[in-house]
Amino acid sequence: MVGISQTGVQRFFSLSKIGRAKTALLITNPLMNFLFLSACLHGIIMYAVYFKCDPILNSSETGLTNHDQIVPYFLVSKFHSIPGLTGLSVAGIFSGSLTTISSVLNSLATVTVIDFVHPIFQSLESNEKKSLLLAKGLALAYGAICICIALALTKISSLAQVGFLFHNTFEGPSLAIFTIGVMTRIGFGKSVLFSLLPGFAITQWIGFSSLFSGYNEPPLPLNTSMCSSTFNLTYDYSASEVSNIISPSTTLSPASQRSEQSSHPTRFKISESCGKALDEEN
């Protein structure tokens, strides 16, 4: 789908020769396939890590409310001990998203100016400066519209579902147009346009009907059977120290206990709380 997206086509058109465009396409396809496979592998890893302790089902402990928060939660919970890795990973996610969004907005503004504004206002076609300012203004307007849509969709359970919906409903008819152009020589502007509009209408009807119908695809089995209860200890103690606190090997005299408690108040506080927890379990 890379070769038929507007951002990809615009980049290929910026090259000086057709051969370079073909080379760029051949280089891009394996990289994009690797990217999509990596995303699928990432999802499989997320399921393998959390299928016995789902952070959404265990929201009372994790505070997560939807599945879009699982990846940041995974990064923070698993790699917090490595300095800088969590911030680097989150920065990579946001930078990749921003570069993609900027490319899409610029492409959308360029298409609007060239395909819609110039045929109507032909005087702007020869004025490159005004066309550039108009394209920048349209990119800003489209960005504001995207922000408003994102704010309106904050209540959606998964933004990824909405993103895939918009992507698939538009990319399907676009693929049909490219297929007609590659396989036949009888297609022309008006026929393609009149076939494109019903295609968009049908795919959007199917997509939005599935979104607002209330149907939820059954998820893979998830539970919280392996979620371990944790104690909020103030200090780090080794396993031997904690075992000695819970099950001391020696019995101290009352005077020794008072002196030991006065010298190590935190230790006896933890021992008392752990003892109460064990009594409740028994």
pLDDT digits (tens, 9 = 90+) for 153-171: 766 666 667 777 777 777 7
Q: What is the pLDDT of residue 143?
A: 92
What does the pLDDT look like over 81-91, one tens digit per residue? 888 888 888 88
Of all residues in the chain, the percent with pLDDT exceeding 70 is: 75
Tokens encoding 64: 């997560």
Work out the average pLDDT over 90-102. Answer: 83
Ordered by start, the domain boundaries in the chain are: 87-155, 156-227
pLDDT range class, residue 76, cuts 50, 70, 90: confident
- pLDDT at position 149 is 80
Residue 115 phi/psi, 5-degree rounding, is -90, -20
Highest mean pLDDT among 15-24, 225-234, 269-278: 15-24
Does the pLDDT at position 244 exceed 50? no
Whole-number Cα distances in Å, 128 to 5, 10, 31, 122, 224: 25, 18, 35, 12, 61
pLDDT digits (tens, 9 = 90+) for 186-219: 777 777 878 888 888 888 888 777 777 766 777 7
Specify the pLDDT at position 133. 93
Residue 21 in this model has a pLDDT that exceeds 60: yes
The predicted model gives 101-107 an average pLDDT of 85
Tokens standing for 161?
């579902």
Structure confidence by residue, pLDDT tens digits, 211-229 = 777 667 777 888 888 886 5
Q: How far is CA 270 from the centre of its chain?
A: 40
AA letter at 150: A
The string of DSSP letters for the chain reads: -TTTSHHHHHHHHTSSSHHHHHHHHHHHHHHHHHHHHHHHHHHHHHHHHHTTS-TTTTHHHH---SGGGHHHHHHHHHHTTSTTHHHHHHHHHHHHHHHHHHHHHHHHHHHHIIIIIHHH-GGGGS-HHHHHHHHHHHHHHHHHHHHHHHHHTTTSS-HHHHHHHHHHHHHHHHHHHHHHHHH-S---HHHHHHHHHHHHHHHHHHHHHHHHS---PPPPP---TT-------SS---HHHHHHHHS-SS---HHHHHHHHHH-HHHHHHHHHHHHHHHHH-
- Taken as a whole, the chain contains a residue count of 282
